[in-house]
Structure 1
Amino acid sequence: MKYLSICVISFYLLFLVSFFFFFMSMNFILNDFSIFIEWEVISFNTMNITMTLFLDWMSLIFLSFVMIISSLVIFYSKEYMESDYKINRFIMMVLMFVLSMVFLIVSPNLISILLGWDGLGLVSYFLVIYFQNVKSYNSGMLTVLSNRVGDVALLLAIAWMLNYGSWNFIFYLEVMKNNFDMMIIGSLVMLAAMTKSAQIPFSSWLPAAMAAPTPVSALVHSSTLVTAGVYLLIRFNILLSMSWMGNLLLLLSGLTMFMSGLGANYEFDLKKIIALSTLSQLGLMMSILSMGFYKLAFFHLLTHALFKALLFMCAGAIIHNMNNNQDIRLMGGLALIMPLTSSCFNVSNLALCGMPFLAGFYSKDLILEMVLLSYVNYFSFFLFFFSTGLTVCYSFRLIYYVMIMDSKFSPLNLLNDEGWVMLKSMMGLLILSIIAGSMLSWLIFPTPMLVVLPLYLKLLVLFICIMGGLMGYLISNISMFFYSKALMSYNFSYFLGSMWFMPNISTYGIINYSLMIGNLVVKSFDQGWSEYFGGQQLYFNLIKNSQLNQMLQNNNLKIYLLSFVFWIIIMYMYMI
């Protein structure tokens, strides 16, 4: 029990800190002020190293959400990971993960952002390979190498900002708009954000990261790792409006949303379906952010964090009860057997779809109405609304397979809602998933937003959702007909279901060949020419010289005579 106590301590501490930050953020919103703290760590002549913190309503409210979700995830882990002998180490890694995210949130400085950014990348690698098997190792390698691209981009942005004399990007936000140097920095930051938030072409690592334990997935896919890129771009939002970067991001994020929605309808792994839904929602956040609505992106970021964490927790409880089985085809009828877990699962799924008056509705409906009100081309319009339909489609497909379909599991499985610690955690997020949307809409938008549209456009969002849900239910209900049709065009189905071949390209293509080239470079240079003319050459020369020195010290008469003759010859030549 001494190992479990750290769970309870962490839970209470993070829970209290979360409430403190939330009330502090409300104070900041009402009084419209922010705090900029600069602490000089060391000063030497003209050089000074400072640590800066920036606290405004946005960072504080995001901190409170990160804290409350991580506290409930840690409490959930107490029961979910209780059979693990090293649960103490697991909780410490989760706390390191949260600490890295806190560094990233409160930093207006690219150096301290890199500290949190790399902390997230490193600890996420440790957590992905937590269950030590070949699949986890491969997933961890794909995750860490994909994120490394963004880390390099951030390092290049830090190097480029040396032109300005300070890494506090918050001072240069106004200058960024019409400055070529700042456009370069902005494009590097956008690349970094795209890798962390898994936009095309860096999408393949996000479903692979499902090799991590489920509590980690609940934390990673809700409020920490994948949202770090979106949050960074929210801070750099001035760069995206009315520039080529915003247009490019709108295209890529729209395609990400579309691709993940299609992929989730072909997937049968419970956790991967939820991971692909995260990818779809990240695409939605990025695309609305690229259109200049950064507050809406932040609003959806917060509401999505709550119901996505709940969805993963419910999935973890189901997997636990199903004897660690994740295939939705072997589930079914859980609504009768696990009613509390099923209720939480359905509420979070409906919030994801944008069911009226749940958390997701307030942000998602507003986003789609602002898209209708904005100047977007037909292609972007299609991506937004078709992807929303796909979201509802795979959600209803998931509900059918897990809740409604006849049971397919082993009769020896004992299924019940007995995990009270897990249920308590889920209940906390259930309440937030219901009330948080309206609460945040009153906080973030104190002036009520009324979007006036023609009737057919106003009802378009509702129509798309109903059609998507109907399609998802029908596809699942007549699944044999659907699968036979899908198998008739197997290559096309494989293309849609495998994230447009992205995992194959990134693993077998880019990572495999880059590692092979790296191996050749190491053999040719580090262990080849460089070794032969560098370290080994020095080593052999030292050996020869030491052998000669040893021979000279042997006190041999012949050596003395030889050296005497040698010195006489040198003196004679010198005199001549």
Structure 2
Amino acid sequence: MPLVTWNLLPVLIPIALILCGLLGCREKSTSVAQTAVWLSRGLLCLYGLNLAAYFFLSTPEPAQQLLRHTELSQIMLALIVIMSWVLFRFSRNYMNGQANLPRYYRWLMFTLASVAVTVMSNHLVLFWLGWFCISLSLHNLLTFFPDRPRAILAAHKKFILARIAELTLLIAFVLLYQQHQSVYISSLLSSLTEPLKMGQPLAWQDQLAACLIALAALIKCAQLPFHGWLIQVVESPTPVSALLHAGVINLGGYMLLLFAPLVSQSAPAIWLLLIVAGLSTLASSLVMTTRISVKVRLAWSTSAQMGLMLLEFALGLYELVLLHLLAHSFYKAYSFLNSSNAINDYLRLALCAPTKYQANKPVFPTMKDWSLALIIATFCVVAVRFAFHFDSAFSTWWLFALALSILLVQWRSSEHSVSWLRSFVTGLALTLIYAALKSLMWFALPAETNHVAAFSYPDIWAMSLFTLLFTINLLLHYQIHWPWVRRLSMTLFAGLYLDEWVTRAVLKIWPVTLPARSKQKHSTSPSQLSLPKHY
């Protein structure tokens, strides 16, 4: 078989999804769920052939072609295929008996096909069309339950914000084409690396395009204040939430990795990401601690994790961005699909007999425990960082040290307390695993990357945010009786009131008609209310 044919194997994945969505998901189809499961198995086999062809039959690629065959695109394509298999298998039982089931599977397949086209594209127009089709297909999934007012309102806000992101991305691509006279992404990136080697600044068209791409990524990743729709789309079916949080929302990070040679050279774009994503990480992480609903907590967690991923990109830690993207995808897919088991876990704990430890008052860690935990965590981080010769930003290592210290204190305060020696060995092992995974991601990234120096202004900004997050989280957990901490907790419970302002602005720009059932419920006058007979 010619090598050109092997290079076209990835194209069969979105083609199969589109054809199955058109032909296999007709309105009167009764076996659409089983068809989707068999399709996912076929996609796994097809990707296996594609991966073998990429490693054993790959040839040097011309710069001007529609598709990209890189390690990064192969990883993203693997993520899409695995998520397709998981979601189709889960939906077979979860969506069984639902009305309009063929419509659900059709738009799910169209969404996955659009994501596959986007991550494989090497053409600006094809990339933008894939980005646009993702939003349109996802909109039909978010409105699968048309009688839920919150779902309709969230989808409406998402629709408007998506159009803004697509418009900014379109303007950025037009500027890049005018400046470089090429629509092929690989050619653009090659031309952008030459000024970097010669120390020349970017042209104003490239600077503006970099800022617009960064803005589109911030909107796509639901950063504050564009986060409200992400919190409210939990009204959609659980597989749709898993697809959104585990796959679609990560595309902002992938786009930044793709255009890293451009965005990394623009100081305004980098500081835009540092400020907006950094503050979003801080606020979303704190708001998440005030939520009770499992899905809502996961939604706020997604906003915080996406902010942290964009912050890592601004610090030049591209290998950490890729690791974060993959880990977050699998974690959020599992968390959403397993969210219904929270009831079983609660009942299991309620039926268990209270232990002696549970009957006593909770044990609060002392200042000595916190000091020792922080010293151990900092030593592990500094030792491993020095051993692996990491010379990039220190802020993410500082975040790891803070998280590790919290984990060590929790172990010491648990019913079966762990010795400090065992805590040290475990902490050192976790730090080594983190460093090894961080180093492993380098094989999928370009050799030339712009790292931010340790303790530079961007690094100090990130360290300050992480320290503030650590401090406020401890105050909310242990000093909630302080008046100002209690007021802060109430403000965080209200989501900092940011989404209310955005919702009002969106409804003024483009009003939406809520479902008839909701309108009838809210428009009922007091005279129409009927009281019980005993009144």
Q: Bigger CA drift: 309-318 or 253-262?
A: 309-318
Conserved 8 A contact 2:154-2:230: no
Conserved 8 A contact 2:64-2:186: no
Q: Which amino acid aligns with 1:225?
A: V
Structure 1 match to 2:357: none
How far off its partner does 1:228 sit? 1.0
Conserved 8 A contact 2:225-2:499: no
The CA deviation string for residues 100-136 of structure 1, in whole angstroms up to 9 with x for no partner, is 1011101122211111111111112111111122111
Conserved 8 A contact 2:323-2:441: no
Quickly say closer, same or farther: Cα 1:302–1:26, change in 2 above 3 A: farther
- Please state if 1:136 is matched with 2:151: yes
Structure 1 match to 2:128: 114
The normalised TM-score by structure 2 is 0.64
- Please state if 1:275 is matched with 2:296: no
How far off its partner does 1:491 sit? 5.0
Conserved 8 A contact 2:264-2:270: yes
Structure 1 match to 2:31: 2
| Separation (CA, whole Å) in 2 of partners of 1:280 and 1:366 | 26
Conserved 8 A contact 1:258-1:387: no
The CA deviation string for residues 137-177 of structure 1, in whole angstroms up to 9 with x for no partner, is 11111111122210110122233344243322331225446
How far off its partner does 1:231 sit? 0.6
Task: Tell me the number of residue pairs that the alignment of Structure 1 and Structure 2 aligns.
Answer: 402
Conserved 8 A contact 2:280-2:307: yes
The CA deviation string for residues 227-283 of structure 1, in whole angstroms up to 9 with x for no partner, is 111111111112333522112212221111111110110011111111111222211
Aligned-pair identity in percent equals 22
Structure 2 match to 1:165: 181
| Separation (CA, whole Å) in 2 of partners of 1:107 and 1:157 | 17
| Separation (CA, whole Å) in 2 of partners of 1:17 and 1:25 | 12
Quickly say closer, same or farther: Cα 1:371–1:292, change in 2 above 3 A: farther
How far off its partner does 1:286 sit? 0.8
Q: Which amino acid aligns with 2:492?
A: L
- Please state if 1:226 is matched with 2:249: yes
Structure 1 match to 2:399: 385
Conserved 8 A contact 1:303-1:437: no
Conserved 8 A contact 2:281-2:304: yes
Quickly say closer, same or farther: Cα 1:375–1:6, change in 2 above 3 A: closer
The normalised TM-score by structure 1 is 0.60
| Separation (CA, whole Å) in 2 of partners of 1:18 and 1:123 | 23
Identify which of 262, 272, 280 aligns with 1:239.
Answer: 262
How far off its partner does 1:219 sit? 1.5
3-state SS in 1 of match to 2:68: strand
Identify which of 332, 341, 349 aligns with 1:333.
Answer: 349
The CA deviation string for residues 21-72 of structure 1, in whole angstroms up to 9 with x for no partner, is 45456559xx8x7645867xxxxxxxxxxxx111111101110111112211
- Please state if 1:61 is matched with 2:75: yes
How far off its partner does 1:15 sit? 2.5
| Separation (CA, whole Å) in 1 of partners of 2:135 and 2:166 | 9
Structure 2 match to 1:72: 86
| Separation (CA, whole Å) in 1 of partners of 2:120 and 2:213 | 17
| Separation (CA, whole Å) in 2 of partners of 1:369 and 1:437 | 10
Quickly say closer, same or farther: Cα 1:473–1:213, change in 2 above 3 A: farther
- Please state if 1:500 is matched with 2:496: yes
Quickly say closer, same or farther: Cα 1:474–1:443, change in 2 above 3 A: closer
Conserved 8 A contact 1:255-1:383: no
Quickly say closer, same or farther: Cα 1:82–1:265, change in 2 above 3 A: same
3-state SS in 2 of match to 1:198: coil
| Separation (CA, whole Å) in 1 of partners of 2:182 and 2:510 | 36
- Please state if 1:515 is matched with 2:510: yes
3-state SS in 2 of match to 1:292: coil
Q: Which amino acid aligns with 2:258?
A: R
Quickly say closer, same or farther: Cα 1:391–1:71, change in 2 above 3 A: farther
Structure 2 match to 1:408: none
Quickly say closer, same or farther: Cα 1:7–1:37, change in 2 above 3 A: farther
How far off its partner does 1:317 sit? 4.8
The CA deviation string for residues 272-309 of structure 1, in whole angstroms up to 9 with x for no partner, is 11111122221121111112222321122112211221
| Separation (CA, whole Å) in 1 of partners of 2:287 and 2:255 | 27
**Structure-to-structure mapping, 1:444-463, within 5 angstroms:** 444-445=442-443
- Please state if 1:91 is matched with 2:105: yes
Quickly say closer, same or farther: Cα 1:392–1:145, change in 2 above 3 A: farther
Q: Which amino acid aligns with 1:304?
A: H
Quickly say closer, same or farther: Cα 1:100–1:436, change in 2 above 3 A: farther
Q: Which amino acid aligns with 1:512?
A: L
How far off its partner does 1:371 sit? 13
| Deviation >6 Å, runs of 4+ | 365-372, 390-393, 435-440, 471-474
How far off its partner does 1:14 sit? 2.6
3-state SS in 2 of match to 1:172: helix
| Separation (CA, whole Å) in 1 of partners of 2:51 and 2:270 | 31
Structure 2 unmatched ranges of 5 or more: 1-29, 193-200, 353-382, 415-432, 446-453, 455-462, 513-535
Structure 1 match to 2:289: 265
Quickly say closer, same or farther: Cα 1:375–1:79, change in 2 above 3 A: closer
Q: Which amino acid aligns with 1:90?
A: Y
Identify which of 132, 150, 153 aligns with 2:165.
Answer: 150
The CA deviation string for residues 63-84 of structure 1, in whole angstroms up to 9 with x for no partner, is 0111112211111111111121
Quickly say closer, same or farther: Cα 1:472–1:272, change in 2 above 3 A: farther
Larger radius of gyration: 1
3-state SS in 2 of match to 1:54: coil
3-state SS in 2 of match to 1:221: helix
The CA deviation string for residues 198-232 of structure 1, in whole angstroms up to 9 with x for no partner, is 1233222221222221111112111x311111111
